[in-house]
Amino acid sequence: MSLGSVYTDPRPYLERYPTDRKKLKRTAELRRFHGWQEPKALNPNALRWLVLYQCGSLTAKAISEQDEGYLSSYDTVKKALERAASVLGLPLRSGKRGYAPRKT
């Protein structure tokens, strides 16, 4: 194997660097102007809890009680579920099946 097949000449990239940098800066300015925001990072536990809640039909209380490795209260799990769902743009499922909704 010759070194020429692995080595790539960096000069074309170095020549193009200043204009690429200007484009990146302009793109960032346009994103800020139009209100685009970086996506928020999610806690991996929150994603796991969201799957258990949405697909596994577990309640937030059941998730907080079964999760031994991570100190989690009901409030922590509930807030994490709401945040994860809002970041992903998913509606949270309604309460437990068979129960009438609470009158407000």
Q: Residue 68 is part of which domain span? A: 44-88
pLDDT score for 73: 84
Q: Per-residue pLDDT averaged across 84-95, rounded?
A: 85
57 belongs to a structural domain: yes
Q: Bigger pLDDT: 60 or 102?
A: 60
pLDDT score for 96: 59
pLDDT score for 103: 64
Cα–Cα dist 101/104, whole Å: 9
- Residue 78 structure tokens: 């509930």
* Residue 77: count of CB within 10 angstroms of its CB: 26
Name the pTM for this structure. 0.54
Q: Count of domains in the chain?
A: 2
Only one residue has tokens 């949405």, namely 54
pLDDT score for 1: 46
**29 lies in the same domain as 54:** no
Cα–Cα dist 70/16, whole Å: 48
